Amino acid sequence: MTTYPRTSRLMARGTAFLGTEHAVMCGAMSWVSERNLVSAISNAGGFGVIACGAMTPELLDAEIAATRERTHKPFGVNLITMHPALFDLIEVCDRHGVSHVVLAGGIPPKGSVEAIKGGRAAAKVVCFAPTLALAKKLLRSGADALVIEGMEAGGHIGPVSTSVLAQEMLPELAEDHLVFVAGGIGRGEAIAGYLEMGAAGVQLGTRFACATESIAHPDFKKAFFRASARDAVASVQIDPRLPVIPVRALRNKGGDLFNAKQREIAGALDRDEVAMEEAQLQVEHYWAGALRRAVIDGDVENGSLMAGQSVGMVRREEPAADIMAELMNECEAALSRR
């Protein structure tokens, strides 16, 4: 068994929190982070996270059970805070004894953190913190750990780069709290740098999206293999009234279709046909459908190819265990050179 003494020492708080060999979380990628990839990452010593997305409680129940059949190692579940059945989903996680719940997509609604931590499983709560002020608020509200994710990431993104977030937030938070860094990480040398700055661990999504165990369509994976960092672009907001969170994906016709969808929804707002909350839900449903077309159906022209800027480092299909070993070897070598 390969050991990573320097890396393990710096990851000690993160691995103790996650219950894993390596403090490497896999970002929750809708349609990709399901039973096969999640279990493979956990079996490789990392921490897989099921992307609940728009799943119903019944679907999540089946997904957790199927993942449990494939691994005895810890894994988590990512829940979207705006999901209309959020508290039912929390109950499903609790019933299965899920150890960690990741809340994403906005400020956790009242009572959600308490429901997760106060259940029979007494699960840990991980929240995304885009600013230092919000990070402190989330910690006061009961978050057990934070993920700070920069704009280099794939999917929904904030406006600030990972390196700037890390410099601003780790010195303030990392001594007393668990902070995982995400966004644009594709090699172990970057992991080493954030660990030395005080991070408890890291989160990667794009690097694992094309793992052998990923159910993503072969054409989806080929698009990743062909892409460079500059091909992963952020979506634009067409109407200032629409609270559209930018999404980073590979440039294709699907981006133009999203702009047309925004204009359609804005027109419905003009005619008072939808409320603002419903308009935002329509945007989210669009992304869910567009992502499915790309990941599952292989429609790489019209679907959404969500990818972070580290996509240029994804060159071939390989097992999750090999990806994990490569990252850890690179990290340990970098720390040894220090």
Entry pTM? 0.95
Residue 77, token pair as written in the block: 């579940």
Same domain, 195 and 64: yes
Chain length of the chain: 338
Predicted confidence (pLDDT) per residue in 78-87, tens digit: 999 989 999 9
Domain that holds residue 279: 218-309
Q: What is the pLDDT of residue 275?
A: 87
Lowest mean pLDDT among 86-100, 180-194, 263-277, 305-319: 263-277
Domain count along the chain: 2
Same domain, 96 and 238: no
Q: What is the pLDDT of residue 91?
A: 98
Predicted confidence (pLDDT) per residue in 95-140, tens digit: 999 999 999 988 999 999 999 999 999 999 999 999 999 999 999 9
* pLDDT, average across residues 213-232: 98
* Mean of the per-residue pLDDT values of the chain: 95
Amino acid at 75: F
Separation of alpha carbons 148 and 202, rounded Å = 9
Same domain, 139 and 234: no
Express as a percent the part of the chain with pLDDT over 70: 99
Predicted confidence (pLDDT) per residue in 14-56, tens digit: 999 999 999 999 999 999 999 999 999 999 999 999 999 989 9
Same domain, 152 and 177: yes
Separation of alpha carbons 280 and 13, rounded Å = 37
* pLDDT, average across residues 264-290: 84
Same domain, 84 and 195: yes
